[in-house]
Structure 1
């Protein structure tokens, strides 16, 4: 499958009978769903979408024209990464990505909520730097500090436990992109290992998790996309190699 992003006027590929995710290769929200699909060993097809020149048919699956969207039956879709991922975890429970403890599930949602300001700061720093305020830099580091404190408190390899769970796959796509900020002229967003030793170790461990490794992109690659988008010509198709395999069977839990 090609990583080419389809755009206005392009035909929708024929339905292949599997789950199908509509995504954008550099979108952290779309990556969340890709990682969950991988973690659950599900067979799926991927259709990448140019978000600047959206194909007409994407609105059939995502009324807002956003990604990700999931075609769960031919012609039927749901959208929004959180909605999709909770659906997948309930629909395909063989590889459970959430705790059975209702309190821990609630705590995981709080972890995600407390991280939201850091995500917002990333988008401003990367794509609207002239609007960046000192408070957002503070919010960014406060989010990282809170996340590191949670890792220390839980004392487990991943936030979920011995293997990554939904909370890890929800946060990691942004952590992956945070490392690109110093490369686009934002050194104040660097993740210093002296300050964030535990968090940096966690990030490095997540990079090689089975669900993450084949989809992970380097900071340099993310920086190149950010720069292309800021120049007004987002290079959606900069990855011209074949797409990663959409079927990833594994025998063991991560």
Structure 2
């Protein structure tokens, strides 16, 4: 059986995706955290883009290196049970499209917590709200994206929703309020063992320190709330 080594940054949501899928497959893996601000030479040799996650697959006496979270998730789903993607080609394509939507959501979230001024912060807040409205309209009865079956779309969105465990506390409001299906989905994901285990126990504290270090508008709100 293949051995897996996941090269990681502790706060990276894309790494969380890979870790969630590995956990859902029930396979052991080694996780190696690096400092993205001081990338080691061995990592730069492995990663053509200089980004995480990177999955090193040891099999049949050789090593292969995979990069990009969507590629890693697809490979794991094609080679390891249980299958998390739908079997139907059209439905599978639809799920892939929503995974791209999750990545676009993460891009807005990044802009939200790094926005230097209130105007940009508000623009990103509205962009996230618009995406969440679209999700609310798309979701069914739950508890997961495709109903009772956890899938790769769930693994893609869980790290995005996790940010709001901190954001909601800082701002005193939540974009999940008034969106009952989205709120229930978020809660179902937060209770899943693979999602909980994708980050360290001190994740929220580490994220808070990271955001404060950005000197952003959200960081100023956090410092004001703490004071």
TM-score class, shorter-chain normalisation, is 0.7 to 0.9
The counterpart of 1:96, out of the listed 49, 72, 83, is 83
CA contact (8 A) 2:142 2:181 kept: no
Does 1:55 find its partner at 2:43?
no
Displacement of 1:192 in angstroms is 4.3
Structure 1 distance, partners of 2:7, 2:37, is 15
Q: What SS is found at the alignment partner of 1:100?
A: coil
The counterpart of 1:46, out of the listed 28, 31, 56, is 31
Does 1:204 find its partner at 2:192?
no
Displacement of 1:163 in angstroms is 3.0
Cα deviation code 1:76-104 (max 9, x no counterpart) = 31111011111111121x21000011111
Displacement of 1:136 in angstroms is 2.6
Q: What SS is found at the alignment partner of 2:16?
A: helix
Displacement of 1:228 in angstroms is 4.5
Alignment of 1:1-254 (within 5 A): 18-73=3-58, 75-92=63-80, 94-130=81-117, 132=120, 134-151=122-139, 154-184=140-170, 186=171, 190-193=174-177, 195-216=178-199, 220-221=204-205, 223-230=207-214
For residues 21 and 187 of structure 1, do their structure 2 counterparts lie closer, same or farther at Cα, with a shift above 3 Å needed? same
Displacement of 1:122 in angstroms is 1.0
Structure 1 distance, partners of 2:75, 2:191, is 25
Aligned length: 210
Q: What SS is found at the alignment partner of 2:22?
A: helix
Root mean square deviation of aligned Cα: 2.5
Structure 2 distance, partners of 1:136, 1:104, is 30
Displacement of 1:115 in angstroms is 4.0
Q: Which runs of 5+ in 1 are unaligned?
A: 1-16, 233-254
Structure 2 distance, partners of 1:156, 1:172, is 14
Q: Which runs of 5+ in 2 are unaligned?
A: 217-227
Q: What SS is found at the alignment partner of 1:180?
A: helix
Q: What SS is found at the alignment partner of 2:194?
A: coil
For residues 51 and 223 of structure 1, do their structure 2 counterparts lie closer, same or farther at Cα, with a shift above 3 Å needed? closer
Structure 2 distance, partners of 1:38, 1:56, is 28
Structure 1 distance, partners of 2:148, 2:34, is 34
CA contact (8 A) 1:62 1:69 kept: yes
* TM superposition score normalised by structure 2: 0.82
Displacement of 1:70 in angstroms is 0.4
Structure 2 distance, partners of 1:225, 1:160, is 35
* TM superposition score normalised by structure 1: 0.74
